[in-house]
């Protein structure tokens, strides 16, 4: 079996290049074609000799993902299904707004968690994505953004299918390529990795002193309520998460974002708002309050507009840094929690 060349380090490519009698600097040219230019075949490496291209093709392959399906919402959101080299399907979303063009990307095929309000949680996890497969989603969504809106991506969020911190090494490697001057040269400050909350991996982010932003899918600051919605809370309770986030902040000084979907009669009372205030006040943070997007098989419903606004008003009066995220792409199942591979 040929090895995917994008799973090789530069030093591994250099060793191959030297071994076949080519000058070492050719490896950097190969790397530039693979990442900065994101080509899909060795034949496209036009500044390399035919013999070198053939040698690379004999030893390696390039597993580029392919666009499987593209749907455009009435609000301009674009959902894309991507087919992987082994037939797996993942989804990514382009969310355009006045001054932001955000790519929402996946980190796993399916998901190993079972959050009860999320469509992806009903899928089993097939496998983790490789760094190159995460990278390719960004490249494709960036191309679509420029084609449709004449503007490149401004932001990237790891909020698609899967739990990024359960694919830790490949996710961090993908960020490295996306932010590298030899890759997409994207600012890490415009990248957010979202987690359902794994305390030891949040601490590891701190130890690794990451430069990107971290978001916690919180959805309740009351243990019993959160555990009912998200079984991960049984092993990663709120006390553990709070301590892990404090440790993360002490290492990185990065502001923490909390994601909070409002569910009718579940987590939208003023007691819930007070608990959220108490949980978030310990660190510099912002809270994204999110409209719920209806998902098949899920018993939850979104809060009423009146309760939604009452909840937000209470937190604002407490001085909480609140941002309201309205649903985008609902009509093509592209909104938060709706990615379920219906293809």
Told to judge if 291 belongs to the known catalytic residues of this protein, a careful annotator would answer no
Query: Does residue 133 carry a catalytic annotation?
Result: no
Written as six digits, the tokens of 157 are 């969020």
Q: Could you say which of 91, 133, 140, 170 is catalytic?
A: 91
Burial class (CB in 10 A: 0-12, 13-18, 19+), 74: exposed
Burial 304-330 (b: 16+ CB within 10 A, else e): eeebbeebbebbeeeebebeeeebbbb
Annotated catalytic residue within 8, 115, 118, 336: 336
| Strand 89-96 with 101-104, pairing | antiparallel
Between CA 94 and CA 113 the distance in angstroms is: 24
Place of tokens 């079972």: 114
The DSSP annotation for 172-197 comes to HHHHHHHHSTTTT---GGGEEEEES-
- Supply angle C-alpha 116, 119, 123, rounded to 5: 95
Q: Which two tokens stand for residue 246?
A: 């404090």
* CA–CA gap between residue 259 and residue 300 (Å, rounded): 17
List, by residue number, the catalytic residues.
Answer: 91, 336
């Amino acid at each position: 079996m040929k090895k995917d060349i994008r799973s090789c380090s530069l030093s591994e490519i250099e060793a191959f290049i030297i071994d076949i009698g080519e000058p070492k600097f050719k490896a950097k040219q190969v790397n530039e074609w693979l990442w900065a230019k994101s080509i899909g075949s060795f034949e496209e490496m036009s500044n390399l000799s035919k013999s070198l291209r053939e040698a690379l093709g004999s030893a390696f392959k390039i597993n580029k993902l392919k666009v499987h399906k593209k749907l455009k919402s009435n609000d301009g959101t674009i959902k894309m299904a991507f087919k992987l080299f082994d037939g797996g399907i993942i989804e990514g979303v382009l969310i355009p707004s006045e001054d932001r063009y955000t790519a929402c990307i996946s980190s796993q095929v399916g998901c190993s968690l079972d959050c009860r309000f999320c469509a992806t949680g009903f899928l089993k996890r097939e496998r983790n994505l490789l760094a190159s497969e995460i990278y390719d989603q960004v490249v494709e969504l960036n191309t679509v953004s420029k084609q449709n809106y004449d503007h490149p991506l401004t932001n990237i969020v790891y909020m698609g299918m899967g739990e990024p911190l359960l694919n830790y090494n490949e996710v961090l490697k993908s960020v490295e390529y996306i932010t590298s001057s030899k890759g997409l040269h994207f600012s890490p400050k415009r990248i957010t990795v979202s987690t359902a909350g794994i305390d030891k991996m949040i601490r590891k982010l701190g130890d690794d002193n990451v430069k990107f932003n971290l978001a916690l899918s919180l959805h309740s600051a009351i243990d019993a309520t959160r555990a009912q919605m998200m079984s991960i809370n049984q092993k990663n309770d709120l006390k553990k998460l709070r301590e892990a986030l404090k440790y993360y902040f002490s290492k990185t000084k990065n502001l923490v974002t909390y994601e909070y979907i409002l569910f009718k009669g579940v987590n939208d009372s003023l007691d819930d708002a007070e608990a959220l205030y108490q949980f978030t006040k310990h660190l510099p943070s912002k809270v994204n309050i999110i409209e719920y997007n209806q998902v098949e098989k899920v018993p939850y419903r979104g809060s009423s507009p009146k309760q939604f606004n009452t909840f937000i008003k209470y937190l604002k009066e407490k001085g909480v840094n609140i941002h309201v995220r309205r649903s985008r792409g609902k009509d093509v199942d592209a909104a938060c929690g709706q990615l379920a591979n219906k293809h």
